[in-house]
Amino acid sequence: MAQNFEQIEKNVVWHHATVTRGRREIMNEHRSINLWFTGLSGAGKSTLAHAVEERLSQMGCRTFVFDGDNVRHGLCRDLSFKIEDRSENIRRIAEMVKLFLEAGIISLTAFISPLAKDRLKVKELLGEENYLEIYCRCPIAICEERDVKGMYRRARRGEISEYTGISSPYDEPESPALTLDTGSLPLEQCVDAIIELLENKAILNYSPDKAV
């Protein structure tokens, strides 16, 4: 398999478009960036990501949310939930996000992404300046209370193997761009904190003289 990839790479060349990321950012009036939401299942990642997208949309920003379940229906439908396939799931998402960065879009990715090494690979692939890790910190007891799908109950009964927080590890981020206690903070307060982060990072209200 590795040999096949090497042969393919020899026969393909990255095409550099005349419409650059910088030009798209000028048109959009904001920088492209990735907000990577990580946390346990039930921590509120998707809810928060969509709420932030709604706020950004109202501000005139071009955005897209990559939701874990939605991606599993298409791009990653061939992958299992074994740890190696979960790493491949994250790799594929990162490659998609890289393209969205070139498109000048603010992408919001809501994935458990339990392994620190996988999140580090995403950061390295996208570039540190393009990656803002948002840790949705929530006690597992609250996550289980929010478990409308009954996944935690099934995991505790042993019906699901390698379930994050129960039978599979979650590596807490050591230095995320932002940590939000989503088990106790109101949703709007969390959204406000992320918008403030984007403003402080000069992502919003982008000036043409900063484009490259």
Q: What is the pLDDT of residue 85?
A: 78
**Amino acid identity, position 45:** K
- The residues near 81 (Cβ < 8 Å, ≥ 6 apart) are 162
Choice between 147 and 50, residue whose per-residue pLDDT is larger: 50
pTM of the model: 0.87
Tell me, yes or no, if 113 is annotated catalytic: yes
Q: What is the pLDDT of residue 70?
A: 62
Least confident of 10-14, 45-49, 172-176: 10-14
Whether 211 has a pLDDT exceeding 50, the answer reads: no
Q: In the predicted model, what is the mean pLDDT of residues 42-64?
A: 96
Q: What is the pLDDT of residue 71?
A: 60
Choice between 195 and 67, residue whose per-residue pLDDT is larger: 195
- The residues near 94 (Cβ < 8 Å, ≥ 6 apart) are 121, 122, 125, 126
- Please name each of the domains of the chain with its CATH number: 22-202 (3.40.50.300)
What is the per-residue pLDDT across 163-179, written as a single tens digit (0 to 9) for each? 898 988 999 999 999 99
Whether 210 has a pLDDT exceeding 60, the answer reads: no
Task: Give the integer Cα–Cα distance in Å for 209 and 25.
Answer: 11
Whether 212 has a pLDDT exceeding 70, the answer reads: no
- Residue 194 and residue 54 in contact, taking contact as beta carbons nearer than 8 Å: no
Q: In the predicted model, what is the mean pLDDT of residues 191-208?
A: 90
What is the per-residue pLDDT across 107-140, written as a single tens digit (0 to 9) for each? 999 999 999 999 999 999 999 999 999 999 999 9
Q: What is the pLDDT of residue 67?
A: 78
Task: Give the integer Cα–Cα distance in Å for 105 and 130.
Answer: 11
Task: Give the integer Cα–Cα distance in Å for 148 and 16.
Answer: 45
- Active-site pick, 32, 41, 113, 168: 113
Q: What is the pLDDT of residue 90?
A: 87
Least confident of 5-9, 89-93, 120-124: 5-9
Torsion 172-178-181-182 (CA) sign: negative
Task: Give the integer Cα–Cα distance in Å for 150 and 180.
Answer: 24
